[in-house]
Amino acid sequence: SPFKPKPEDAVPTDEILETLRLLASDSRNRVVISSGRDHNTLERWLGGLNIGLAAEHGAFYKDNSEWNKNTPPKEWEEDILGILQQFVERTPRSSLEVKETALVWHYRKVDAWLASIRVQQLIESLITPCTREHLQIMKGNKIVEIKYPEFTKGSEVNRLLKNRSYDFILAMGDDVTDEDMFNALPAGSYTIKIGTLSENARFNLLNQSDTLPFLRRVALG
């Protein structure tokens, strides 16, 4: 999601919700939020809106008010959980998020110098057990994520395109995981990376604060 609340925020702001309602109020639009967050969190934040939702990079998706699960239950390897818990204990103000298809080490509140050291140490510690279990290690926006590889924001794009055609596609994102989304979209789609430049997106918005004004202009025509 290009305007996701920060981890410490309880819910999206009223401004975000109003912008999404405005976009969804046009029956010609299909609005979908694709996120790495778990489906319970997305339902709590956005479940009251008339929009599509995809959680854990498409492992769960919500269509027609119903949540669907793309994957059977998986059990996390104890070595990997143990390594992550050790880094939580050794790194003040970090935390571990356990989801059904991903494990996420959050370090947004950690001292920047310490975080830079711990991130590299954590990735090095995880390489062997994650390779053995065929898991991906991804460094995102103040997170290190371990996930099953079959679900990405690109796989969610493929699902959305499979049974419906679109005459206009606009996709926005600010995270490394959004690169899969940009790559999966057909040529001619309006792909926008927020913040850092992307070789896979056609356009760029420099600041996240530009996102809502931009979408409101799009909605109002």
Q: What is the pLDDT of residue 3?
A: 43
Q: What is the pLDDT of residue 143?
A: 94
Find out whether 19 and 215 touch, Cβ atoms under 8 Å.
yes
If we measure between CA atoms, which residue out of 89, 200, 168, 83 comes closest to residue 132?
83
pTM: 0.80
Find out whether 95 and 106 touch, Cβ atoms under 8 Å.
yes
| Structure-token match 């103040």, residue found | 142
Q: How far apart are CA 178 and CA 30, in angstroms?
A: 19
Q: What is the pLDDT of residue 8?
A: 46
Q: Which parts of the chain register pLDDT below 70?
A: 1-10, 72-73
Please enumerate in sequence order all residues whose Cβ is within 8 A of that of 211, keeping only pairs 6 or more positions apart, or say none.
2, 3, 172, 194, 205
